[in-house]
A and B are shown apart, each in its own frame.
Chain A
Amino acid sequence: MNFTVTSEINNKVATLTLVGSLDSSSAFVFQEEIQKVAVQSPVEMVLRVSELSFMASAGLRMIVFAKQKLGSQVQIYMVSPQDQIIDTLQMTGFIHSVHIVDKYPE
């Protein structure tokens, strides 16, 4: 399934909606969107991922990139990730650095 990402910024909260498969061939699309929202210095980043069906380590590296680009104080929320993606976040320890929520705002 192709990967798409769309973004919007409201009240300094960047919301990105990720759909499809995020792998090493599509990660650059996500990276470009992070760079685009970073210009507006958001204070929080919300990733809507309920329709993200696959995420490889290339996607995790983009989350690291977002933290580096936006600053460590910027909190990252992942809204409704699928179980298999939660497994990957758990295995790699990323679960400690992002907030997994059912909805945002909580």
Chain B
Amino acid sequence: MEAKKITYSYVASLDVLESIREMLTQAGNDIGLSKRKTYQLTLAIDEIATNVIKYGYQEAGISDGFFDLIIEFKEGELIVSLEDTATPFNPIEHSLPTEEDLNIPLEERPIGGLGVMIARQSVDEFKYEFVNNKNRNIFIVKTN
């Protein structure tokens, strides 16, 4: 398959999550990605996009924020990059809950960290870069 790159821009509002999921589901279907892998990629991006919108922009008092999703189809890989100009945040530095944490009864659990954990574990490879004053979260799924 010839490399192909498409950029989608979104305003930083939770209302856009549904259209992102629809767009990614379509992209997954178009390249014949399994239903499970498509769902997991969609879930991973939903989690990080939620954090960017809520914490990167809204809680930081930035009302006109936006972010881009850049989709690249390469041989054997689907790569989605989420780029935003919010406060730098590296999810990889975020400690993941341990096996022990995951066995704590629900009512005693700390509430944070789940979204980042889900995002990092739902794709084949997860990377983070801070380039040109932008956060870039990169989600890579093997397509064959």
Known contacts A57-B114, A88-B118, A91-B118: does B50 contact A24 (CB below 8 Å)? yes
Chain B contact residue count (CB 8 A cutoff): 31
B4 within 8 A of A: no
Q: Are A93 and B47 in contact (CB under 8 A)?
A: no
Known contacts A21-B18, A23-B50: does B36 contact A92 (CB below 8 Å)? no
Q: Given A54, A84, A87, A94, which contacts B106 in the complex, CB threshold below 8 Å?
A: A94
B64 within 8 A of A: no
Q: Are A57 and B54 in contact (CB under 8 A)?
A: no
A16 within 8 A of B: no
Q: Are A87 and B115 in contact (CB under 8 A)?
A: no
Q: Are B107 and A68 in contact (CB under 8 A)?
A: yes
A40 within 8 A of B: no
The interface centre, meaning the residue of B40, B114, B118, B121 with most chain A CB atoms within 10 A of its CB, is B114
Instruction: Give the number of residue pairs across the A-B interface with Cβ within 8 Å.
Output: 79
Query: B35 to nearest A CB, angstroms?
Result: 8
Please provide the 3 A-B residue pairs with the shortest distance between their CB atoms, ordered closest to farther.
Answer: A93-B102, A25-B14, A57-B115
Q: Are B36 and A87 in contact (CB under 8 A)?
A: yes
Contacts of A84 in B (CB 8 A): 35-36, 39-40, 43
Known contacts A21-B18, A24-B50, A92-B102: does B111 contact A54 (CB below 8 Å)? no
Known contacts A67-B106, A72-B105, A96-B103: does B21 contact A24 (CB below 8 Å)? no
Q: Given B17, B107, B121, which contacts A67 in the complex, CB threshold below 8 Å?
A: B107
